[in-house]
Amino acid sequence: MVATMNLFFERATPACVVMVLPDQPEFHNHIGGPHAGALFTLGESASGALVLGHFGDLLDRATPLAVQATIRYLKVAAGAIRATAMLTRPVDEIREELDAGERPEFDVEIQFSDEAATVTGSMTVTWTLKPKRV
């Protein structure tokens, strides 16, 4: 989906990941903004990139899985849309839970904004690190 929708990274740091959905008429809805599904894909992709950035070194013993997502559309978005994803819990805390044999769950908050930096929506994706059986 990332390649199909031409999503790209604007910034990726330990604090946040910013991905962009370019303005593309083929992904517009009936009112001329990005389709809700396109925005969902943008937000979920940004959250997944952040999760892999922090926990990708654990793939040999845990599988990151999105377990729930909610999205809120605040304003009609126009133009290129940015999704800024940030963790809501300390990384060390999540890793400690996994090391203790638990299956940690944690939220990634995403904020959508347009080219004028107007916030157009928000999203929360709840992730887990599912331990692999040996």
Residue 67 in contact with residue 51, Cβ under 8 Å?
no
pLDDT for 33 equals 87
pLDDT tens digits for range 18-50: 999 999 999 998 988 899 999 999 999 999 999
pLDDT for res 18 = 98
Q: Which amino acid is at 17?
A: V
Count CB neighbours of 42 within 10 A.
26
- For 8-131, which CATH class? alpha beta
Please give the model's pTM, rounded to 2 decimal places. 0.94
| Average pLDDT of span 47-61 | 97
Query: Average pLDDT in the 1-21 region?
Result: 94
Residue 134 has pLDDT above 80, yes or no: no
Q: Among all chains, which residue has been given the structure tokens 């939220």? A: 107
SS (H, E, C) the chain: CCCCCCCEEEEECCCCEEEEECCCHHHECCCCCECHHHHHHHHHHHHHHHHHHHHHHHCCCEEEEEEEEEEEECCCCCCCEEEEEEECCCHHHHHHHHHCCCCCEEEEEEEEECCCCCEEEEEEEEEEEEECCC
Query: How many other C-beta atoms are found inside a 10 Å radius of the C-beta of residue 15?
Result: 10
Query: What pLDDT does 77 receive?
Result: 87
> Mean of the pLDDT values across residues 113-118?
94
More confident residue, 134 or 87: 87
